Amino acid sequence: MTYVVGVVGCGRWGLAHIRTLLELKESGFVKEVYACDTNAQRLEELPAQIDGCFSSWEEMCDLIEPDLVSLVTPNKTHAQLGKSILLRGLNVLIEKPLATSVADVRELTTLANASRTNLHSGYLLRYHPSVCAAKEIIEEGKIGLLKSIRYIKYTSRNKNPLANPVDGLASHALDMIPYLAGVKPHPFFTNIIALKQNKAAHLSEATECKINAQYTGLKRLNHVAVEISVGWEQNDRSLITIEGSKNALRFDFTSPDVLELGSIEGGFKRVTLTDMRKPLEAQYRNILSQSPQSLAHANTHLQTAEILHITVLRAESWSCKHAGN
């Protein structure tokens, strides 16, 4: 079976979606790719292989009968556009976040269940080759009981004036960590700080965020310490370290073919990865084929939204106390 996909929003990341879908079209997995944007210049600059362009998502959906609509639009538009598309009985992939409030996420998930459509979110790390391999190793018990997970992600990109480091960067970690652990708990946050140039800052102005949390009282997660450090406008670096009672795992998102298993004392050895598909490609293949992984992910939308909401509130509370007026 081949699929028809429509992409709404052709900015920087929307173009990445389109290019990935065109690669899938070339491979025969996707049949047709369409694009929609209110910016005519963006449409004119799209690759020639696109099957059609529209300035109205309604017109696009009326004419092409898509198997999936991907929303890659500003965050504030996600909820209303997502609801409108679901009401048409169409499957939708909404880039993170699904919506800007827990109430809207709850409404989207309720609507998707009622209309028997599939609602997906753009948390790509679940489809990263190293994350998939790490999850398998953890489930096989090769590192023993989980003890700690450390997530570091800094980028040289400038901060978006409308973004904060929790929603913009830490959200990936807050979605990925319960997935890796195979549980659906809410963490207990022990410390959250927001910084700009190494000084306390209000969350909306911060370029960096550090989060310490614990997952407690669970059979497989007995007091697991979680550290998340993220930021913009710094040297690019990323590293995930997962420690267990027997061994540890570590990998760098910028080197998707490298996953190491071992220990600091005994050294690390490289693990051979069997699936090296790019995360966005893997996400589309899973979503369009309605794989168990993608459907299971769809059941965690509300959990992730609630964790994000709590994290933002805690970060804002810390900022009010330490960053001044």
Structure tokens at 207: 């370029």
Position 19 confidence tier, pLDDT thresholds 50, 70, 90: very high
Given this model, what pLDDT does residue 266 score? 87
CATH code reported for the domain at 3-121: 3.40.50.720
Q: What DSSP state is assigned to residue 324?
A: -
Position 263 confidence tier, pLDDT thresholds 50, 70, 90: confident
Q: H-helix or E-strand containing 192?
A: strand 188-196
Share of the chain above pLDDT 70, in %: 97
CA 234 to centroid of chain Cα atoms = 21
Question: Domain extents for the chain?
Answer: 3-121, 125-322
Residue 283, burial from CB neighbour count under 10 angstroms (0-12, 13-18, 19+): buried
Position 280 confidence tier, pLDDT thresholds 50, 70, 90: very high
Among 182-191, 194-203, 213-222, the minimum mean pLDDT is found in 213-222
CA distances from 267 to 79, 248, 262 (A): 47, 10, 6
The answer, as to whether pTM is greater than 0.85, is yes
Using the predicted structure, report yes or no on whether residue 139 has a pLDDT greater than 80: yes
Residues 237 and 156: their CA atoms lie apart, in Å, by: 9
Structure tokens at 26: 């070339």
Please check whether residue 207 is in contact with residue 195, taking contact to mean a CB–CB distance below 8 angstroms: yes
Q: What DSSP state is assigned to residue 290?
A: T
Q: H-helix or E-strand containing 240?
A: strand 237-244
- What is the full DSSP assignment across 142-155? TT-SEEEEEEEEE-
Q: Do domains 3-121 and 125-322 have the same CATH topology?
A: no
Classified by CATH at the fold level, domain 125-322 comes out as Dihydrodipicolinate Reductase; domain 2 (3.30.360)
Please check whether residue 64 is in contact with residue 32, taking contact to mean a CB–CB distance below 8 angstroms: yes
Residue 62, burial from CB neighbour count under 10 angstroms (0-12, 13-18, 19+): exposed
Query: Which residues, 6 or more positions from 46, have their beta carbon under 8 angstroms from its beta carbon?
Result: 10, 15, 18, 35, 53
Given this model, what pLDDT does residue 325 score? 58
Structure tokens at 97: 């976040």
Q: Average model confidence (pLDDT) for the chain?
A: 92
Q: H-helix or E-strand containing 124?
A: none
Given this model, what pLDDT does residue 221 score? 54
Using the predicted structure, report yes or no on whether residue 218 has a pLDDT greater than 60: no
Query: Which residues, 6 or more positions from 319, have their beta carbon under 8 angstroms from its beta carbon?
Result: 194, 200, 201, 202, 203, 206
Q: What DSSP state is assigned to residue 38?
A: S
Q: Which residues pair with 75 in a beta bridge?
A: none
Residues 38 and 55: their CA atoms lie apart, in Å, by: 5
Per residue in 51-105, pLDDT (tens digit) is: 999 999 999 999 999 999 999 999 999 999 999 999 999 999 999 999 999 999 9
Residues 155 and 172: their CA atoms lie apart, in Å, by: 14
Using the predicted structure, report yes or no on whether residue 219 has a pLDDT greater than 70: no
Residues 167 and 27: their CA atoms lie apart, in Å, by: 34
